[in-house]
């Protein structure tokens, strides 16, 4: 049996799940209520998109709470770490944007300092943890590598050249939101990269669920908002590129779930390697 994660890490991630459920569910399903308590002012499309990102992120964190073993944590914890670190750095760079209630701003920074700090600590503590190496099927390995490059490249572009990279969004983004949204692409890209090195059925399934939610919810959110304010130009190329990107993420997630069920993708381990 693989190493069980510490009670501290499991407790922190459990708290994160509750927060993501409240924040993500509120921003997506009840934006008029929770939006008033957010750390900065958001417009309708951004509100639903933030909710979609949070709900998708919650799925992988919840999976680790339910199955608290490092065989899954070796993928989920780095994803949590990169997500929270990027958001923390961008938040510090754009402090003037945090014009919401003071309690919301304080809670935001407490969480985005505490969670990456504890995650980094455990990545260090478990750095020498060794696990059976999974010899992945060639097709699955190539698929994961390609996804990592594609999603990672776009996420990095949102960080570096936000005004250009965000042009495919069907609504206008300022640099702050564009950079925050980079985590929606960099996080699953990191997960795909880690799985391409050594995958487990549990890790592949969880990444699939996360991507499926991260693909379908943004599209649903846009459709819901546009029913009331109708500001999306559905005849433009960028709108359909954006729809296509998230549709791809959705389909990719479904295919990863299917791949996780197919045991031929995960032949028995023949070696031992660092996790």
H-helix or E-strand spanning residue 103: helix 102-125
Say if 2 falls within a structural domain: no
For residue range 66-125, what is the model confidence (pLDDT) as tens digits? 999 998 999 999 999 999 999 999 999 999 999 999 999 999 999 999 999 999 999 999
Q: Which domain holds residue 185?
A: 7-127+135-266
Q: Across residues 136-160, what is the average pLDDT? A: 90
Residue 131 has pLDDT above 70, yes or no: no
Say if 34 falls within a structural domain: yes
Give residue 129's pLDDT band: very low, low, confident or very high (50, 70, 90): confident
Structure tokens at 114: 């505490």
Q: Across residues 211-239, what is the average pLDDT? A: 93
For residue range 27-44, what is the model confidence (pLDDT) as tens digits? 999 998 998 899 999 999
Say if 272 falls within a structural domain: no
Q: What are the residues whose beta carbons fall under 8 Å from the beta carbon of 257, sequence distance 6 or more? A: 205, 208, 209, 212
Helix, strand, coil shares of the chain as percentages rounded to 5?
75, 5, 20
Identify the three-state secondary structure at position 38.
coil
The percent of residues in the chain predicted with pLDDT above 70, rounded, is: 92
Q: What is the count of structural domains for the chain?
A: 1
Q: Hunting for tokens 């505490």 — which residue is that?
A: 114
For residue range 235-244, what is the model confidence (pLDDT) as tens digits? 999 999 999 9
- Confidence at residue 134, expressed as pLDDT on a 0 to 100 scale: 59
Say if 250 falls within a structural domain: yes
Smallest CA-to-CA distance from 125 within 6, 252, 258 is with 6
Neighbouring-strand partners of residue 273: 131
List the beta strands (DSSP E) in 9-116.
none
Give residue 270's pLDDT band: very low, low, confident or very high (50, 70, 90): very low
Q: Across residues 172-183, what is the average pLDDT? A: 96
- Confidence at residue 208, expressed as pLDDT on a 0 to 100 scale: 94
Q: Could you give the C-alpha distances from 107 to 10, 50, 100, 101, 151, in angstroms and in order?
A: 20, 17, 11, 10, 30
Say if 271 falls within a structural domain: no
Residue 138 has pLDDT above 90, yes or no: no
Say if 273 falls within a structural domain: no
Say if 275 falls within a structural domain: no
Instruction: Give CA–CA dist 113/118, Å, rounded.
Output: 9
Say if 274 falls within a structural domain: no
Identify the three-state secondary structure at position 69.
strand
List the beta strands (DSSP E) in the chain.
130-133, 271-274
């Amino acid at each position: 049996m693989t190493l069980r994660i510490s009670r501290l890490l499991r407790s922190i991630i459990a708290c994160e799940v509750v927060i993501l459920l409240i924040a993500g569910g509120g921003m997506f399903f009840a934006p008029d209520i929770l939006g008033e308590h957010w750390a900065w002012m958001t417009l309708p499309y951004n509100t639903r998109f933030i909710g979609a990102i949070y709900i998708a992120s919650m799925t992988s964190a919840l999976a680790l709470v339910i199955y608290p073993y490092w065989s899954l944590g070796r993928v989920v914890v780095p994803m949590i770490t990169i997500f929270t670190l990027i958001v923390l750095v961008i938040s510090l760079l754009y402090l003037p944007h945090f014009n919401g209630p003071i309690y919301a701003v304080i809670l935001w920074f407490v969480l985005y300092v505490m969670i990456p700090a504890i995650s980094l600590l455990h990545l260090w503590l478990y750095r020498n943890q060794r696990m059976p190496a999974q010899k992945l099927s060639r097709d699955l390995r190539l698929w994961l590598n390609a996804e990592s490059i594609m999603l990672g490249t776009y996420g990095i572009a949102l960080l570096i050249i936000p005004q250009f990279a965000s042009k495919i969004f069907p609504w206008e983004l300022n640099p702050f939101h564009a950079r925050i949204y980079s985590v929606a692409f960099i996080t699953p890209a990191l997960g795909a990269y880690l799985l391409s090195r050594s995958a487990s059925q549990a890790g592949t399934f969880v990444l699939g669920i996360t991507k499926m939610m991260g693909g379908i919810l943004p599209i649903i959110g846009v459709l819901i908002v546009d029913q009331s304010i109708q500001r999306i130009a559905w005849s433009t190329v960028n709108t359909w590129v954006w729809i296509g990107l998230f549709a791809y993420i959705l389909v990719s997630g479904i295919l990863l779930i299917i791949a996780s069920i197919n045991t031929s993708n995960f032949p028995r381990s023949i070696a031992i390697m660092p996790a």
